[in-house]
A and B are shown apart, each in its own frame.
Chain A
Amino acid sequence: MSKLLKAEIYKLLHSRYFPALCLAQLLFSTMMLRDSLPKTSNLFYATLWYLPFSYLIVVVFMVLYFANDYEERTLFLYITAGNKRSSVLAAKAVCFVLADLVIMLFPVVVQLTIGGWILKETVDPAVIRPYMGILLMGQAATGMMGVCLAQLYKKVGNLITAGMITFIAMVIALNSKAASVLSAVIPAGHAYRIAAEQITETPGYYMGISAGWIVVMGIIALIAFCRADLK
């Protein structure tokens, strides 16, 4: 599988869209920062407040990363070369999630350091540390959801639609009356919870939920991919 990872990383590094997406996310979340700063008690929480809305970028990334590969049939090159289907899916999923983490959290890091310097506000690492786990797992889980969607809706058109619907559903859910409950159940909402300082349970609770999502999404994606007749 590491061979496949190497190939995927090479592809990402030589693609045009990856740096573009990172930049886009940075701009977008920086803009949102102006709005969220007054709503939160410190810079760290401010960077996380609007994170769920940034998933739009993830949808775009998902389409570019998966559906493109399907349409151009370049994904099949891995299979005809003799790699196991599960390895192929695993490599792509890992790469996607890691890249996704980079896209989402890179702006957070930038904002914490540069922003902190500009606003003369330092954030105590002790505040951040307990939430690292939750954040990473939450992002990973959402990433896996993307992986799973991509296996179920392979073509570009279908995947965009599916992605958008999921995204909008999520946004609605997180802004509805049941938000307080849903934001715990939906991993994407965990970042929001941290920002709103509503973390009441142990970090393990949230990480467990994310882990559950990862497993379920992973299994669905695996089954969908391994049985598929690829055209």
Chain B
Amino acid sequence: MNSIVLEAQGITKKYRETLALDHVDLKLEKGKIYGFIGKNGAGKTTFLRLITGLAFPMEGRLSLFGKSGEKSLQEQRKRIGSLIETPALYPYMTAWQNMEVQRLQRGIPDKSVIDKTLKMVGLDNTGKKKVRNFSLGMRQRLGIAMALLNTPEFLVLDEPINGLDPAGMVEIRNLIKELNREYGMTILISSHLLEELHNTATDFIFIDGGRILEELTYEELNEKCKQHIEIKVKDTEKAVLVMEEKLHTDNFKMLPDGTIQLYDYLDDIESVAVAFSEAQVLVVGLAVTGDTLEEYFISKVGGGSHE
């Protein structure tokens, strides 16, 4: 019964010689909060630009709310609110005036929606202050407010928490959850900061090098992050041999720092210890442990990015 809000089939985009998006296939269902996670330059913003109509795909098909074709897509975009990169604001106007321009161009009746929306993001008392005097956090909030102006059905946010202080982050996170709860709004948030999204999103999409690596639900991600045996050894090559030949498993990952994450034998960690010791591989650490989101992402992509 879940209707599809966005469907991408084989979306490919090239800028000069770089492949920004490589045959991306995605289906976004109504009512979910999607965390779109990737390093800087992985293709997140490019994809969001394609969704919002700022750029066009070279190959592939995009459909919004079941409709495709440039003309229909543009019509459907009226149902989307978006914030791409840093907020685009008129520096010499006040917050209210910036919102008014948006209200006029979208044809939204009733001026009071402006105050209501500003209140939602906590900007209802900026009065005559011009945007150029706003702090980064205030600008971010105004950008989000502009995206929310006509209570869209699909909200697309590009790194919305960037530049906010911890209290602001919490506020926006709560706002997102509330919007999803109260209106059943479908939300797509992109970020390279994973911890933040972990508590907000219902589904996760990992992207790297323009390709979708994996799609997981919140529960599935927790499952994956929950259990593995973390093995620290001195001789990693030998350890790998042991695992492949003695333990007959290739269900493991190597972290950049040489730590091995083994996803098998979770209930039989002794066999693992025995196998290593028999092969005279010195084990410095052996424990069943979970991942943080950050570690999981690094293990998938290698080399994360941090603020």
Partner of B104, one of A3, A15, A79: A3
| Contact flag A84-B74 (CB < 8 Å), given A7-B105, A77-B102, A229-B56 | yes
CA distance A193 to B279 in the complex (A): 98
Cβ B53 vs Cβ A7 within 8 A: no
Cβ A82 vs Cβ B90 within 8 A: no
CA distance A73 to B82 in the complex (A): 13
Cβ A14 vs Cβ B93 within 8 A: yes
Q: Residues 215-227 of chain A: 1 if any B CB is under 8 Å from the residue's CB, otherwise 0?
A: 0000000000001
Q: What residues of chain A lie closer than 8 Å to B102, measured between beta carbons?
A: 7, 77, 81
Shortest distance in angstroms between B129's beta carbon and chain A's nearest beta carbon? 15
Q: Residues 33-60 of chain B: 1 if any A CB is under 8 Å from the residue's CB, otherwise 0?
A: 0000000000000000100111110000
Shortest distance in angstroms between B19's beta carbon and chain A's nearest beta carbon? 15
| Contact flag A10-B90 (CB < 8 Å), given A82-B77, A229-B55 | no
CA distance A45 to B93 in the complex (A): 40
Closest residue on chain A to residue B15 by CB atoms: A229
Cβ A82 vs Cβ B76 within 8 A: yes
CA distance A83 to B105 in the complex (A): 9
Asked if B92 lies at the interface with its beta carbon under 8 angstroms from chain A, I say yes
CA distance A72 to B132 in the complex (A): 12
Partner of A82, one of B55, B74, B89, B101: B74
Asked if B146 lies at the interface with its beta carbon under 8 angstroms from chain A, I say yes
Q: Residues 65-77 of chain A: 1 if any B CB is under 8 Å from the residue's CB, otherwise 0?
A: 0000000111011
Cβ A81 vs Cβ B78 within 8 A: yes
Cβ A80 vs Cβ B77 within 8 A: yes
CA distance A3 to B78 in the complex (A): 14
CA distance A14 to B94 in the complex (A): 10
Q: Residues 65-96 of chain B: 1 if any A CB is under 8 Å from the residue's CB, otherwise 0?
A: 00000010011111110101100111111000
Interface size on B, residues (CB 8 A): 32
| Contact flag A76-B56 (CB < 8 Å), given A3-B105, A7-B104, A11-B90 | no
Shortest distance in angstroms between B128's beta carbon and chain A's nearest beta carbon? 12
Asked if A28 lies at the interface with its beta carbon under 8 angstroms from chain B, I say no
Cβ B55 vs Cβ A79 within 8 A: no
Cβ A80 vs Cβ B80 within 8 A: yes
Q: What residues of chain B lie closer than 8 Å to A16, measured between beta carbons?
A: 92
CA distance A84 to B78 in the complex (A): 11
Shortest distance in angstroms between B93's beta carbon and chain A's nearest beta carbon? 6
Most buried by A among B76, B93, B107: B107
Q: What residues of chain A lie closer than 8 Å to B93, measured between beta carbons?
A: 11, 14
CA distance A88 to B100 in the complex (A): 17
CA distance A172 to B79 in the complex (A): 51
Interface size on A, residues (CB 8 A): 26
Asked if B97 lies at the interface with its beta carbon under 8 angstroms from chain A, I say yes
Give residues 200-227 of A contacting B (CB, 8 Å).
Answer: 227
| Contact flag A230-B55 (CB < 8 Å), given A73-B85, A74-B89 | yes
CA distance A15 to B54 in the complex (A): 26
CA distance A47 to B85 in the complex (A): 48
Shortest distance in angstroms between B219's beta carbon and chain A's nearest beta carbon? 33
Q: What residues of chain B lie closer than 8 Å to A82, measured between beta carbons?
A: 53, 74-80
Asked if A4 lies at the interface with its beta carbon under 8 angstroms from chain B, I say yes
Shortest distance in angstroms between A200's beta carbon and chain B's nearest beta carbon? 46
CA distance A205 to B87 in the complex (A): 48
Cβ A81 vs Cβ B77 within 8 A: yes
Cβ A74 vs Cβ B90 within 8 A: yes
Shortest distance in angstroms between B146's beta carbon and chain A's nearest beta carbon? 7
Q: What residues of chain B lie closer than 8 Å to A85, measured between beta carbons?
A: 74
Asked if B106 lies at the interface with its beta carbon under 8 angstroms from chain A, I say yes
Q: What residues of chain B lie closer than 8 Å to A106, measured between beta carbons?
A: none
Asked if A34 lies at the interface with its beta carbon under 8 angstroms from chain B, I say no
CA distance A14 to B74 in the complex (A): 29
CA distance A15 to B97 in the complex (A): 11
Closest residue on chain B to residue A76 by CB atoms: B54
Partner of B106, one of A72, A74, A81, A231: A81
Shortest distance in angstroms between B75's beta carbon and chain A's nearest beta carbon? 6
Query: A residues engaging B (CB < 8 A)?
Result: 3-4, 6-7, 10-11, 14-16, 72-74, 76-85, 227, 229-231
8 A-B pairs closest in CB distance? A82-B78, A82-B77, A7-B105, A73-B88, A7-B104, A80-B52, A229-B55, A230-B54
Kindly list 11 other residue pairs between chains A and B, CB separation below 8 angstroms, not including A74-B89, A76-B88: A7-B101, A7-B105, A10-B104, A11-B93, A16-B92, A72-B90, A73-B85, A79-B52, A80-B77, A82-B53, A83-B74
Query: B residues engaging A (CB < 8 A)?
Result: 49, 52-56, 71, 74-80, 82, 84-85, 88-93, 97, 100-102, 104-107, 146
Can you show 26 pairs from A to B with CB atoms below 8 A apart?
Answer: A3-B105, A3-B107, A4-B105, A6-B105, A7-B104, A10-B101, A11-B90, A14-B93, A16-B92, A72-B88, A72-B89, A72-B91, A73-B84, A73-B85, A74-B88, A74-B90, A77-B102, A79-B54, A80-B53, A80-B77, A81-B102, A82-B53, A82-B78, A83-B105, A227-B56, A230-B54
